[in-house]
Amino acid sequence: MSTQPKSIASRADKPAPSTQTSEIKRPSPDLKKTPLLAPFETLDRMAHASVAKATSGLSPSVLAEAWMDWATHLAVSPGKQLHLMEQAFRDAQTVWMASLGIGKPEAAPDTSQALNPDRRFAGEAWQKYPFNVWSQAHQQSWAWWQDATGGVHGVTPEHENLMGFVAGLMTDTAAPSNFAMTNADVISATLTEHGQNLVRGVKNLTEDLIAKTGTAPPAGPQVFEVGRNLATTPGKVVFRNDLIELIQYSPATDTVRPEPILIVPAWIMKYYILDLSAQNSLVAFLVAQGFTVFIVSWKNPGAEDRDLGMEDYRQLGVMESIDAALAITKAPKLHAVGYCLGGTLLSIAAAAMGRDGDARLASASFLAAQVDFTEAGPLRLFINDSEVTLIEDMMAEKGYLSSDQMVGAFALLRARDLIWAPAIHNYLLGQRSDAFDLMAWNADATRMPARMHSEYLRKLFLNNDLAEGRYHVEGKAIAVSDIRAPIFAVGTEDDHVAPWQSVYKMQLLADTDVTFVLTSGGHNAGIVSEPGHAGRHFRIAETKANATYRDPSEWLEKNAAQDGSWWTGFANWLAARSSALAAPPAMGAHSGAYTALCDAPGSYVMQR
């Protein structure tokens, strides 16, 4: 195990910035090409950007390469071909016999929903002829294509996974549940309501298309609004620069822990995912437990911010927030918390601090955040050099990645739940789901600067530089093992963005005490898991720095689930690593750089 580096001068000893707004030094463009080649490269980028628009940002060459690998190997695999022909004959025979009323149709195994029954065909009407035959035929087709694209001798695992995903996506597009004439529930609703469900569906579709074009706001009154019933925990914006607003929350107790909490959310989302409604706000919960809480509210970048990079996000987002929080509270240390991409950024900042002997972190917590991207879930299906290049060329036109492009990519990963199910519900059944706070937040997406997103995709996601010691801060390499503060890491069981096994790798890379939590729920709902939320459970265990490593499956087997919210365990963990209770600090500084500017939630969160 590595040893504690020698202490050097702390950043806390440095003078506070003299102005409230920090200027960003934007680097001049570097094409890395000779002037003669630059026009031709520009033409190529324009062509690639046009392709990206037509394919929603997905690189055709990625799929073409995977298809060629699969098709070539399948063509010289006669055994696999015979197996598939035999299986297709058996499936066809089963469906044909069922359609004649001979035998009872039984659903084929659906490996994509192995842990959850296929809800599309769960209704009583789907158990009757002919709908039971149609649903059986679809599920058998789905299973056959998964068999066809998997297990072909010689195909690389990456290409096999991508072909399986695409085959499943295309098969699901043709599911009988997606069409009014073959959906048992839609037919029943149409007969019962004399077609009024379809009339409402057309109205819903028209409203959504108008809202999509931006020519009109979403139909109907807005149930949730930031500052009214979202992001309402009382506080002040105590610092602002070109990239962030820093919010300090008002104390809710007579005494507080001296060490403040600084929360760094992801910049792909608005910060109030952690300050939703009053009953499920992590911020409000921590304040009620006697902590002074600060949170970073990221600017929604535009074309003028195209040259903002990862280093700008580290320096202006994390380091200047640390300076501000400690200057206001006059505490020697703070608890840093990072969520999703904010956690990845915090790991970079914390590793650099550890390398440089900056000991101002009392603890570092990472919520659904990855530092190793080799097992980054379904997103890895598409991320290779060709895809990243296409995204870069697409961003070059506007200077940022739009929220629509990000939302579309995530929707494809869970098309059944995020594309087809809402379409059936809204347009075929003519219904509208009741609005809730998490859905309102999810619709409030943000953009990402071109340079930062390119650096993130290449250095972290594609090359895995952070986990493998190649990521540089201020010209020198950093390592996660240099983080000296104790770590609290949270993974969620159903996370398709940051799979918990990937988040668990913090225990493999860190060289300090790590407390790992595995909680029920997904990437967002698992983190927003307040006490009293029905059906929630979690596992928690601490691994000391000198303990031997256990792989995720062993850890899962050794640690039993307990009912309730992980928030309570988190608050207890923070309190155990904090000093005795004391009087709350002032809200911002009395004068100078950190005087209060306005009430929370501030202005950056309102940017569209």
| Number of Cβ within a 10 Å radius of residue 202 | 11
d(CA 299, CA 501): 31
Strands 487-492 and 472-473, bridge-based pairing = unpaired
**Catalytic residue chosen out of the listed positions 163, 186, 340, 448:** 340
Residue 340 bears catalytic tag: yes
CA torsion angle 384 390 395 401 (round to 10): -50
Q: What are phi and psi of 14, to 5 degrees?
A: -80, 150
Residues 6+ apart with CB under 8 A from 368: 339, 340, 343, 490, 491, 492, 495, 497, 498, 503, 523, 526, 527
Among candidate residues 567, 580, 514, the one with its CA nearest the CA of residue 282:
567
Sheet of strand 235-240: strand arrangement: 562-563, 537-543, 514-519, 487-492, 361-367, 334-339, 261-264, 293-298, 244-249, 235-240, 598-599
Residue at token pair 């694209």 = 149
Residues 6+ apart with CB under 8 A from 521: 492, 493, 494, 527, 529, 536
DSSP 53-68: HHTTT--HHHHHHHHH
d(CA 168, CA 154): 21
d(CA 200, CA 436): 21
Residue 465 · residue 471 · CB < 8 Å: yes
Length of the chain measured in residues: 608
Residue at token pair 């995530």 = 410
Coil vs helix vs strand at 189: helix
CA torsion angle 573 258 283 588 (round to 10): -160
Among candidate residues 537, 584, 605, the one with its CA nearest the CA of residue 565:
537
**Residues assigned a catalytic role:** 340
